Amino acid sequence: MEKTATARTATKPGDARWDLRAEPGRTIGLLGIAGGGLTRIGLSLLAEPSQRAPVAVVDVRGWLSPLAAFEVGIDPEHLVVVRSAERQQWSQVVAALLEGIQVVYAEVPAGVADTHLRRLSALARARRGALLLRPLDGRLPPGVTHLTLQSERLVWVGVDAGHGRLRHRHLQMRAWGKGMGGAERLFEVEDDGENTMRVVAGMVPSSTGRAAV
């Protein structure tokens, strides 16, 4: 499979492929614990747009490494990193970025009011910008996202008994929202450390009892 900076899943096992992209006017939510692969997925969604225009990352924790962004294919000349840990100013910072930049990936500090998040989602729609939200407290209010991805399980491959070399990781993700046609789906992807996210096990049944198709 060719190297790509976007996460890929399939609509059905063995069927046509679905490319996960940062779409104009859409908000994507990324939920899960730190270390669950969500930052890499979020950054990978900036790679393709960065080949054409600037993209922005709002770093709340101060953990972002520009090298990690470059490794997934983001153009170094088109990356804007803003560090904003103040909850009171955060929504203003993101709104200002959406006014001039088409794709924004933003960590969300704990305690940001639901009304602020809904306003930012509405602003992204109005400005035809793509907004990726990574809430650090693991929650987003209903009605904010077009698509939500939640990290369910992470397995590192290549480490045994506390030693070895990390080769790649398997992620189990849950996806739901309008971007999934109103359905809820589970899928597994493999991050091989080479800017590629690929399906390794197709769809698996939803734990809620709803069909995953």
Average pLDDT along the chain:
79
Looking at the predicted structure, is the pLDDT value of residue 167 above 60? no
- Domain-wise residue ranges, the chain: 8-204
Question: 115, 5 in Cβ contact below 8 A?
Answer: no
Point out which residues pair with 56 in neighbouring strands: 80, 104
Least trusted range by pLDDT, from 93-97, 118-122, 204-208: 204-208
Task: Read off the pTM.
Answer: 0.79
| Residue the block writes with tokens 């979020």 | 42
pLDDT band at 12 (very low <50, low <70, confident <90, very high): very low
pLDDT band at 196 (very low <50, low <70, confident <90, very high): low
Report the CATH fold assignment for 8-204: Rossmann fold (3.40.50)
Point out which residues pair with 134 in neighbouring strands: 107
pLDDT band at 3 (very low <50, low <70, confident <90, very high): very low
